[in-house]
Amino acid sequence: MSNTIGQFDCRIYKMSGKDRLPSNPIVQIILSNWTSDRGDDTPIISPHLMTAGEIDYHIKALKEDLDAVWIKAKAALVMAKAETRAIVSTKKR
């Protein structure tokens, strides 16, 4: 896989052993880096882009980031579901 610029990531919410009721894991795709320079809290996820080449390069890098997070998020969800099943199966006993 190509190098990414680390703009996107994923966050997983999953059941823990302390939870009384079982719950399905939830994955959210998040921005891992942003800034806001206009005071309106709109996330800015690119540097200043001044040429068509810079736009092409950065959009390609963002797509590669999303592809990497896609794989990471799906793997995290599979793992969290397995952990949830293990927790639920021990509570049934």
Q: Report the chain's terminal Cα–Cα distance, integer Å.
A: 43
Q: Give CA–CA dist 19/56, Å, rounded.
A: 46
Q: Give CA–CA dist 68/51, Å, rounded.
A: 26
Confidence band (pLDDT; 50, 70, 90) for 80? Answer: very high
pLDDT value of position 22: 79
Q: Using DSSP, state whether 91 is helix, strand or coil.
A: helix
pTM listed for this prediction: 0.75
Confidence band (pLDDT; 50, 70, 90) for 2? Answer: low
